[in-house]
Amino acid sequence: MSEEDALLPICKACGTQYPSVRNNCPICEDPRQFVPASGQAWSSLAELSSSSKHTLLPDSEDERDCLIQTEPGFGINQTPFLIQTHAGSYIWDCAAFLSLGLIGHLTTLKQPLRAIAISHPHFFAASLTWSRALKVPLYICEADKEWFQRLDDVRDNDDIRFWSDEEELGPGVKVIQCGGHFSGSSILHWDRLQEPPPPADDLPSRPTPVSGIIFTADTIMVQPTQTMFTFLWSAPNMIPLRPKDVLAIQDRLKSLPYHQATSSWPSRWIRSDAKQVFQESVVAYLAAEGWRVDEQDKLVELIT
């Protein structure tokens, strides 16, 4: 990580890194986020390194999934995933803080790191710095390009790949644009059925999941109950997503095979029957908003 990147300003409220000193944060000023009552405040990677550390939290069922947690929490406490497949490793979403220790760990993985992919602008954070330090491509949905605050800071040797609709990152791993929370809001799907079986002389002590899994971030939020999903246009300001946007997300995922789902924070899992839970969650959400879908797949207002 360069000294230049380490000194760039980072918004303390949302964790977005900027290419130069400024007084305001467009991410926080957008109604999906907020400017704290105390006002906008700033930090940097150099400052954070004196008080922050990383903790790796492997999933209790599949150690190939690992949360990268910043302690103490910073910004909106973005918690990226490290996903390790047979053909390479991937980082899903990004945080503000990046330590030399984490760089060392991620650059010496058994399955080399192949890419970083971001779900939506609230997780852009310091992703360009992460991409540079780790020397891997950064995938950002084209529809959210305007929210990427370091466009003016991109160098010729930076590898930023703007994509749309659907993009394969590697065998069995792809990102899918769903919209809703932001126009480019996306999920990551890992088809674990494409993973080869473990060698007979090195079998794991417990079964390794083989079902499909979706990493949803804010696009489809796992409720704290971990029994249902919900859909929000703004989580901190408690603004629900429009029913038509929810149905558009449902349509994008209807042919996708998955059995589990997780949002980008600890303890936000749907461990089984996630696809069925998703369908039930859509029905419950629409009903709470006063709508249902009729036999022609059209929204009709509930009679109350």
> 145-187: per-residue pLDDT in tens?
999 999 999 999 999 999 999 999 999 999 999 999 999 999 9
**Domain ranges across the chain:** 3-194+208-301
Assess whether pLDDT exceeds 70 at residue 304.
no
Q: Which of 163, 161, 98, 164 is nearest to 125 (CA)?
A: 98
Q: Is the dihedral of CA 174, 53, 29, 250 positive or negative?
A: positive
Cα(115)–Cα(132) distance, rounded to whole angstroms?
11
Q: What's the predicted TM-score (pTM) here? A: 0.95
Q: Which CATH number fits domain 3-194+208-301: 3.20.20.10, 3.60.15.10, 3.40.50.300, 3.90.1150.10?
A: 3.60.15.10
The residue length of the chain stands at: 304
- In tens, the pLDDT along 243-290 reads 999 999 999 999 999 999 999 888 899 999 999 999 999 999 999 999
- In 3-state terms, the chain is what percent helix, strand and coil (to 5)? 25, 25, 50
Cα(67)–Cα(53) distance, rounded to whole angstroms?
13
